Structure 1
Amino acid sequence: MEHISTTTLIVTLIVMVVVSAYFSGSETGMMTLNRYRLRHLAKQGNRAAKRVEKLLRKPDRLISLVLIGNNLVNILASSLATIVGMRLYGDAGVAIATGVLTFVVLIFAEVLPKTIAALYPEKVAFPSSFLLAPLQVLMMPLVWLFNVITRLLMRMVGIKTDNVVSAALSKEELRTIVNESRSQISRRNQDMLLSVLDLEKVSVDDIMVPRNEIVGIDINDDWKSIVRQLTHSPHGRIVLYRDSLDDAIGMLRVREAWRLRNEKKAFSKEIILRAADEIYYVPSGTPLSIQLVKFQRNKKKVGLVVDEYGDIQGLVTVEDILEEIVGDFTTSMSPTLAEEVTPQNDGSVIIEGSANIREINKAFNWHLPEEEARTMNGMLLEALEEIPAVDTRVRIKKYDIDILDVQENMIKQVRVTPVKPLRESVEEK
């Protein structure tokens, strides 16, 4: 080294620091890339993305390559700095060179390039892959040797080396991604995506029309009543039964009944029976994600929900499931949540007893129990185990509930007041 000028050594030292910065930035850029965006760009034909994706298929080889290059450059830089320091300052130059080089390496070869790479991973990783790809091929024997030694050492201490980390996202991770994508996805589309993810958590029991609200026609009823119901029916399909809903005999297609009537120029019970399809039964507790597929496979639009004893519990339609995803349709005959809840100025909410608890929880971000009952009335009867009197107050979790109206053995209206924690109440004062 004595015949090499000090200027040449300093220039070489600067080059070593730049190369070290390249390896540091490349490592951070590669590891902080959005893998799903990378996969998308690769499928779109981006050559740089394809090259980076190929490098990341074997992350252990890539990391070994970067670390080998980085450490070799840093060791060489340290040796050159020591020589330059001794030439300029004698024995004290060793300490001076160590301090200066440490500062330079930390700032210009570690912190600065890694920060830039973390902020702009694609702008760093894509260009650096032009050099890393051929370097990996060139240094493959050395990389392979280091990987073998590393794996042997890991096995010696009981660390498994054959575990494969799945890149697939869990539902909760996907939910987090959707929630954090507000700048890219509209709020409405966000809600739809989250609703799709929730389909497995929601069963037909949560959205079905309860048995007491099912619209049906008794085939044994007087003929004028039957014609009146057909004429004024807001539904395209109506349950057809004899005397009781438990003796359901078919699902009447109203439009088909009118078509047959126009052909025959008159109505008759025979025409009504011909216009009725066989009833499609849905087991209670079926998740919506499964039931939607079953509706599609069986080419059905409506089904009667039955419990384990075969008793009819309610009615569910394809539209009900779609409403869980896209929201209520304007053609829905059921009252909307906005019609069933009335927020008050004091922070309480007046709620109808028939309101769906799950929809209330979603609308107000509450945590009322929804496991045992579907409606506010059902939840309170489950909790009290009796029909309460008006002005009864009950606390369920962190909510005070006042009974405002009771009719026909049902709670018709309540006032719900969230109970604020003591600390929050003190802070407001």
Structure 2
Amino acid sequence: MGTDLLLIALLIAGAAFFSVAEISMAAARRLRLRRLADDGDHRALRVITVQESPGHYFTVVQIGLNMVAILGGIVGEGVLTPHFAALLRLVTEPDRAQTIGFALSFLSITSLFIVLADLVPRRLGMNDPERLAMRTVGPMSLLTTLLKPLVWVFNGLSDGLSRVLGLPMQRDDRVTHHDILALTAAGALTGAVASEEQQVIENVFELDTRTVETAMTTRERIVYLSMDDDDALLRNRVAETPHSTYLVCGEGIDEVLGYIDATDLFQRVLLNQPMSLKACSDAGLVKKVLIVPDRLTLAEMLSQFRSAHEDFAVIVNEYSLVVGVITLNDVMSTVMGAMVAPHDEEQIIRRDDGSFLADGSTPVPDLQRALGIDDWPQPGQYDTLAGFLMVMLRRIPKRTDHVAWEGWRFEVMDVDRYRVDQVMITRQPTGAGAPAAHESS
């Protein structure tokens, strides 16, 4: 019995080795292995090589696990069944004792293999995959060489079946932005990544999907200077609404002539020179402005700024009407989010009762994060909360209009000349029924 128990222990150890080798190789992170390989650890390079073509490696693992399982069943039945049966004969008849003894022997051996040869080794392999993969890759390479004929046969059959079923033949190691966001989310849960840092990373990836309209200064808020404005009017406008850059227009805001820096205006004041824009234009201070379409994404806007060597642009729609202006600082504020925006400038504010007070120009991605809504109706037709309400109501929203969606109620609190100024967002009571497509008072 002692020899048989020793054999079972060896079989469990062998199965544990193959389990660790399998799970650690599958879970080992390529980026960490590459860093170890760059530091001179040749074992990490061997693991990377195996991961690029793991077919032979996992074939050996499966051969080893199945052989150990079969041998464990054969040996285990002969070791423990007679002893269980002998004990049970003291309380029951021999035939029944033999049957129950076999069942107890089977359960005991199976339990030992499940816990010691499968669960514990796999947990170890998941907790420290790179180190264990580097430790097992050497012995596994030796076994692959020794079992090469069997590996060749089984691997060939597996490859043929994979081709028939249309399964991928190689591991896909491409890292997508979804992988990066998942890692940062996991880091935020463990405290390794601050919540503000996680938000910045998410905002960076949103640059490819958010349009310039989500970050621009809208048309009605643009402070522009007219070419015919006299010195007194220019001084008052600059004093009342200080900005670093001013749009210069002709008859109206849609007749864009260029832009001028506030520092150039201040310099003329200090030099006792006239502030009239005609004089500034003659001096070359009115610069050509960058004009971009309103369907541009923020990532494309950054490329435009970089190629034009500008940090200020005018946004126009398909009818060549000005819809807003955007600066490089607007784009970077979108990326940095709450890390740079003061509290009184936040577009969506959480109240003590769990509701939200939001500006109508709040971008949909910001609402998605705050409310946890992943699916929005008719995506692509709007970029802001006001646009969402217009699409749902099929008209210009009025005060007290409300829309229900995904368990939230969006009620218009204030409208300023057809512009949705403030919206109260409250969670609907549980059991209120399915969210309505749209409701209005």
Q: TM-score range by the shorter chain?
A: 0.7 to 0.9
The aligned amino acid for 2:346 is L
The aligned amino acid for 2:367 is N
Partner residue, 1:325: 335
Does residue 114 of the first structure (1) align with residue 122 of the second (2)? yes
What is the CA distance between 1:189 and its match in structure 2? 0.4
Tell me how large the CA RMSD over aligned residues is.
4.0
Partner residue, 1:175: 181
- Could you tell me how far apart the structure 1 residues matched to 2:162 and 2:410 are? 60
Does residue 62 of the first structure (1) align with residue 57 of the second (2)? yes
- Could you tell me how far apart the structure 1 residues matched to 2:383 and 2:72 are? 71
What is the CA distance between 1:162 and its match in structure 2? 5.6
Partner residue, 2:14: 19
Residues 258/140 of structure 1: CA separation in 2 closer, same or farther (3 Å cut): farther
Choose from 134, 146, 149 the match for 2:157: 149
- Could you tell me how far apart the structure 2 residues matched to 1:147 and 1:291 are? 51
- Could you tell me how far apart the structure 2 residues matched to 1:166 and 1:401 are? 43
Partner residue, 1:48: 43
TM score, norm. by length of structure 1 = 0.79
The 8 Å contact of residues 394 and 401 in structure 1, kept in 2 or not, is answered as: yes
The aligned amino acid for 1:147 is N
Deviations along 1:113-162, whole A, 9 cap, x unmatched?
Answer: 3343334434533322232233334433432232123334555xx32366
- Could you tell me how far apart the structure 2 residues matched to 1:78 and 1:387 are? 73
Helix, strand or coil for the counterpart of 2:175? Answer: coil
The aligned amino acid for 2:46 is R
Range 306-315 or range 126-135, more displaced: 126-135
Equivalent pairs counted in the alignment come to: 410
Q: Which runs of 5+ in 1 are unaligned?
A: 1-5, 425-429
Range 109-118 or range 234-243, more displaced: 109-118
The 8 Å contact of residues 55 and 133 in structure 1, kept in 2 or not, is answered as: no
What is the CA distance between 1:335 and its match in structure 2? 6.3
The 8 Å contact of residues 393 and 402 in structure 1, kept in 2 or not, is answered as: yes
Helix, strand or coil for the counterpart of 2:197? Answer: helix
Partner residue, 2:427: 418
TM score, norm. by length of structure 2 = 0.77
The aligned amino acid for 1:174 is I
What is the CA distance between 1:287 and its match in structure 2? 1.0
What is the CA distance between 1:230 and its match in structure 2? 4.3
Query: How do 1:26-425 residues align onto structure 2 when only pairs under 5 Å count?
Result: 26-75=21-70, 99=106, 101-154=109-162, 158-160=164-166, 163-182=169-188, 183=190, 184-230=192-238, 234-259=242-267, 265-273=273-281, 274-327=284-337, 336-337=345-346, 343=351, 345=353, 348-349=355-356, 354-356=360-362, 358=364, 361=367, 364-365=370-371, 367=373, 372=381, 380=389, 383=393, 385=395, 388=398, 392-397=400-405, 398-400=407-409, 404-405=413-414, 408=417, 410=419, 412-413=421-422, 415-422=424-431
Q: Identical aligned pairs, as a percentage? A: 20
What is the CA distance between 1:38 and its match in structure 2? 3.1
Helix, strand or coil for the counterpart of 2:16? Answer: helix
Residues 261/327 of structure 1: CA separation in 2 closer, same or farther (3 Å cut): same
Residues 420/128 of structure 1: CA separation in 2 closer, same or farther (3 Å cut): same
Residues 272/422 of structure 1: CA separation in 2 closer, same or farther (3 Å cut): same
The 8 Å contact of residues 344 and 350 in structure 1, kept in 2 or not, is answered as: no
The 8 Å contact of residues 5 and 79 in structure 2, kept in 1 or not, is answered as: yes
The 8 Å contact of residues 302 and 318 in structure 1, kept in 2 or not, is answered as: yes
Residues 404/269 of structure 1: CA separation in 2 closer, same or farther (3 Å cut): closer
The 8 Å contact of residues 209 and 316 in structure 1, kept in 2 or not, is answered as: yes
What is the CA distance between 1:186 and its match in structure 2? 0.7
The aligned amino acid for 1:417 is T
The 8 Å contact of residues 348 and 416 in structure 1, kept in 2 or not, is answered as: yes
Deviations along 1:340-374, whole A, 9 cap, x unmatched?
Answer: 758365x555555x552537625741658785556
The aligned amino acid for 1:418 is R
Helix, strand or coil for the counterpart of 1:240? Answer: strand
What is the CA distance between 1:21 and its match in structure 2? 2.4
The 8 Å contact of residues 254 and 275 in structure 1, kept in 2 or not, is answered as: no
The aligned amino acid for 2:362 is N
- Could you tell me how far apart the structure 1 residues matched to 2:307 and 2:289 are? 15
The aligned amino acid for 1:222 is D
- Could you tell me how far apart the structure 2 residues matched to 1:36 and 1:186 are? 22
Q: Which runs of 5+ in 2 are unaligned?
A: 87-97, 434-441
